[in-house]
Amino acid sequence: MSTPDSRRSVARLAVVGPGRVGRAAALAFSAAGYDVTGPLGRGDTADRADVILLCVPDREIAAAVAALRTRGALIGHTSGATPLHGSGADFALHPLRSFAGSERADAFAGVGCAVAGSSAEALRVAEELAVAVGGRPFEVHDDQRAGYHAAASIASNFLVTLEAAAERVAAASGLEPGFREHLAPLVRGTVENWAAHGPRAALTGPIARGDDETVARQRAAVAAGAPELLPLFDELSARTRDLALEGPRA
């Protein structure tokens, strides 16, 4: 649910960074009724804004804050990994989603947004911005940020790495190049089950059933067709076995 215009403390917003997040943010905030400038690239200038939102690489945040501080606006960054303290920014607003191909006005709708503020006012602005574009703000403190970002990377980035490994094994077994389209519904269903019921209840397959013979045949196929993935297969098998032995978990 967006924030009604009459309750907003921010009217003009400048988005700095023309990458995926910057383009999505500019579209979303414009659609939400803000006067948006950008996304601005390196060297671009803009009129004065109430808030400057940095959608730049982590290594560039501190320099960008220093360069823009004279404008007098609140400055926020959209990094998930960068602590607020030491960055120079006033607030952080990190949307917990992948932005590949997500340049749409509703890109933030229903998305959890990790927020932080150097003051109560800055935190309130971060929450306001998140809500205005349909996001769901939750506060993440600096001492939680590394663990928060690691969890996000495991859930998202590592999932893609696993799907690439699945495609590699399928290809090595002689399956058609378009086999991904058959794996995708399986992955979506698994993710939905995990979201609704938790990891233990969502677990299926030969390890969950205690079918060691099938697991051994799978391992032999990996060893024959994609031996570089064998350590990954073994580690994941061990972790999955541990999960299968746990009691039900929400």
Q: Among 116, 115, 99, which residue's Cα sits nearest to residue 17?
A: 99
Average pLDDT over the chain, rounded to an integer: 93
Any domain includes 147: no
Q: What is the predicted pLDDT for the residue at 73?
A: 87
Q: How many domains does the chain have?
A: 2
Please tell me the predicted confidence (pLDDT) of residue 43: 75
Shared domain check, 122 and 219: no
Tell me if 132 is assigned to some domain.
Answer: yes
pLDDT of 1 higher than 60 = no
How far is residue 210 from each of residues 213, 233, 249, measured CA to CA in Å?
A: 9, 16, 19
The CATH number of residue 110's host domain is 3.40.50.720
pLDDT given at position 249: 47
Residue 244 has pLDDT above 50, yes or no: yes
Which residues constitute the domain of residue 234?
Answer: 156-245
Each residue's pLDDT tens digit, 117-136: 999 999 999 999 999 999 99
Q: How far apart are the first and last CA of the chain?
A: 27
Q: Is position 149 within any domain? A: no
Whether 117 and 198 map to the same domain: the answer is: no
Q: Predicted confidence band at 103 (pLDDT cuts at 50, 70, 90)?
A: confident
Is the same domain home to 58 and 113? yes
Same domain, 191 and 228: yes
Return the percentage of the chain with pLDDT > 70, whole number: 95
Last residue of a domain, one of 108, 141, 174: 141
176 and 96 within one domain: no
Residues 6+ apart with CB under 8 A from 20: 99, 100, 102, 103
Does 192 map to a domain? yes
The model's pLDDT over 187-204, given as tens digits with 9 standing for 90+, comes to 999 999 999 999 999 999
Residue 30 lies in a domain: yes
Q: Are residues 88 and 167 in the same domain?
A: no
- Residue at 15: amino acid letter: V
Q: Of 61-75, 115-129, 139-153, 212-226, which range is least confident? A: 61-75
Report CA-CA distances (Å) from 216 to 115, 221, 234: 46, 9, 10
Is 235's pLDDT higher than 60?
yes
Cβ atoms of 123 and 113 within 8 Å: the answer is no
Mean pLDDT of the region 8-29: 93
Q: How confident is the model at residue 6 (pLDDT cuts 50, 70, 90)?
A: low
Are 47 and 106 part of one and the same domain?
Answer: yes
Average pLDDT over residues 226-237: 98
Residues 127 and 164 in one domain: no
Do 134 and 208 lie in one domain? The reply is no
What does the pLDDT average to over 125-151? 97
Backbone angles phi, psi at 81, to 5 degrees: -95, -25
| 249 bridge partner residues | none
In degrees rounded to 5, what are phi and psi of residue 38? 115, -175
Q: Same domain, yes or no, for 17 and 90? A: yes
pLDDT tens-digit map of 172-186: 999 998 999 999 999
Q: Which two tokens stand for residue 234?
A: 């073994």
CA dist 145 and 143 (Å) reads 6
Kindly state whether residue 177 falls inside one of the protein's structural domains. yes
Q: Exposed, middle or buried: residue 116 (CB in 10 Å: 0-12, 13-18, 19+)?
A: buried
Last residue of a domain, one of 111, 141, 171: 141
State pLDDT tens for residues 38-82.
999 877 776 789 999 999 999 999 999 999 988 878 999 999 999
pLDDT at 5 over 90: no
Q: How confident is the model at residue 250 (pLDDT cuts 50, 70, 90)?
A: very low
Report DSSP letters for the chain, one per residue: -PPPGGG-S--EEEEE--SHHHHHHHHHHHHTT-EEEEEE-TT------SEEEE-S-GGGHHHHHHHHGGG--EEEE--SSS-STTT--SEEEEE-S--TT--STTTTTT-EEEEEESSHHHHHHHHHHHHHTT-EEEE--HHHHHHHHHHHHHHTHHHHHHHHHHHHHHHHTT--GGGHHHHHHHHHHHHHHHHHH-HHHH--SHHHHT-HHHHHHHHHHHHHH-GGGHHHHHHHHHHHHHHHHSPP--
CATH assignment of the domain containing 194:
1.10.1040
| Residue that terminates a domain, selected from 92, 107, 141 | 141
pLDDT of residue 3: 55
Q: How high is the pLDDT of residue 216? A: 98
Same domain, 165 and 135: no
Residue 36 lies in a domain: yes
pLDDT of amino acid 70: 86
- Asked if residue 150 is part of any domain, the answer here is no
* Same domain membership, residue 133 and residue 14: yes
What's the pLDDT score for residue 207?
97
